[in-house]
Structure 1
């Protein structure tokens, strides 16, 4: 009965606003946590060292984005900010920081990302298959909006280093490691990555826009919060129907490439650079 009432409520909400042209800008704060308990040789690292590294990583782990949207289109882009002198300078992981411009057209099923990898621009296209959300009747308030919970399992992006974790080599966990081996990808002798993670989204039918931050969409309302792996993305400010007209333009800059080929190309390049770095020996000063 609860599920039926929820579906009826969503249907009424969508019908009520379907003829209304809604545009807006939503600000999202993204925060990623990192487990540093096993960092250093044999997991030995002083608290002072951990705090120092955490401070340098802050600009990479805490970001602000703006989602500009109309009924069917959106652009999601990281807000530019100036770094304080010495704050995280030179501390980078690879060449992928998620700072590109992501465009979605939910009507025509077009998804593009304009991004850069070590000085080369790419225009990456994705397949926009309907996300397989499992909708729930669970609710919570985000600001003034009532949000409903939805979950799905998502394939992990091989370039998303935030999902990497230390491999379990403890003898007491050998059986468990074997059991889970089919669910992880081995990166190195010490590092692995899960093949799938659960994503939780909170959307509000009060804003009947089937869109959200980053790659997320496909729910009967704007997604205001996403929890994915160690990352939480939360809407902190929302402006609907601003006085200035909103016009969305798809990005055109960069070499056109499919997501699968792009991932393969970057992975190969990163491995090549890693091998070159190793070849310089311990005294080498190579960097990505």
Structure 2
């Protein structure tokens, strides 16, 4: 039975690869994000439940977005779609959260290149780096996402420890207050389809034998809601070019320093109260 399943998957992959290789194609995948907000970042049990609920709802409005991934055999461009909730409202807090969110990302699989257009507290940066190599663990688990049968893969990666609850110190196991770690290791769960045999995915995720339609990292899940193959009007996939060029390592150091500065400011203003 296992041999038959593997044979069927291999045959499907071969047919799909031949189909995509025979024509210059383009696709657009639409993704939605869903974030489980950490309520400890909003006062935990010390805050009025109704007020906490309203704050969590506002936070989810800012965190949960719609993205598009425009792709071909080699390149892709991933960006957030502008909606009523992505513009105005939220004021300074929304602007600050946007600074800690990834900007538009261009990926070139052949060159293993990642270029990110990033605004950070009013300054424009052009982050250039190699595509991250994740050690994907393939599984036999499968499920259907829309009309596409998908397979599951997992990996571990280190990500910046950024979030509303990380602007203040927290008690450790011994009850001592300590600064949050600048990074954390998380498990990545991805679902990809062999029906679209390209090494692309949302954000900086890639490297599987099919388009990634769903990925869960830490508290956020990105899931594909729609795919348009070979749209009537082709969209130009171009690498961003404006902003101060910086490496990913140097940019992460910049974010780390800003986080430390903000923690210090919150501690001074609020007496280290819960944010």
Q: Deviations over 1:112-138 (max 9, x none)?
A: 101111111000012224432111121
The CA distance in 2 between the partners of 1:44 and 1:276, in whole Å, is: 21
TM-score normalised by L of structure 2: 0.84
Please state if 1:50 is matched with 2:52. yes
Q: Which residue of 2 aligns with 1:182?
A: none
Q: Which residue of 1 aligns with 2:188?
A: 199
The SS at the match of 1:195 is strand
Aligned residues: 266
Q: Which residue of 1 aligns with 2:163?
A: 161
1:166 deviates by 8.3
1:85 deviates by 10
Q: 1:129 to 1:83 in 2, by over 3 A?
A: closer
The SS at the match of 2:236 is coil
Q: 1:193 to 1:33 in 2, by over 3 A?
A: farther
> 2:38 pairs with 25, 35, 40, which one?
35
The CA distance in 1 between the partners of 2:208 and 2:260, in whole Å, is: 37
The CA distance in 1 between the partners of 2:231 and 2:266, in whole Å, is: 50
Q: 1:167 to 1:282 in 2, by over 3 A?
A: closer
CA RMSD of superposed structures (Å): 3.1
Q: Which residue of 2 aligns with 1:147?
A: 150
The SS at the match of 2:239 is coil
Please state if 1:22 is matched with 2:25. yes
1:282 deviates by 5.0
The SS at the match of 2:253 is helix
Q: Deviations over 1:222-244 (max 9, x none)?
A: 11000111000001111000111
- Whether the 8 Å CA contact 2:141–2:151 is kept in 1: the answer is yes
Q: Which residue of 1 aligns with 2:10?
A: 8
1:47 deviates by 1.9
1:201 deviates by 0.5
The SS at the match of 2:57 is helix
1:163 deviates by 9.2
1:98 deviates by 2.0
Please state if 1:239 is matched with 2:241. no
1:37 deviates by 5.4
Q: 1:217 to 1:141 in 2, by over 3 A?
A: same
Q: Which residue of 1 aligns with 2:210?
A: 221
Q: Deviations over 1:60-102 (max 9, x none)?
A: 2211111111111011001112349985333244662425110
Q: 1:6 to 1:37 in 2, by over 3 A?
A: farther
- Whether the 8 Å CA contact 2:68–2:80 is kept in 1: the answer is yes
Q: Which residue of 1 aligns with 2:101?
A: 98
Q: 1:203 to 1:215 in 2, by over 3 A?
A: same
> 1:258 pairs with 244, 247, 250, which one?
247
1:189 deviates by 1.6
Q: Which residue of 1 aligns with 2:115?
A: 112
- Whether the 8 Å CA contact 2:71–2:77 is kept in 1: the answer is yes
TM-score normalised by L of structure 1: 0.80
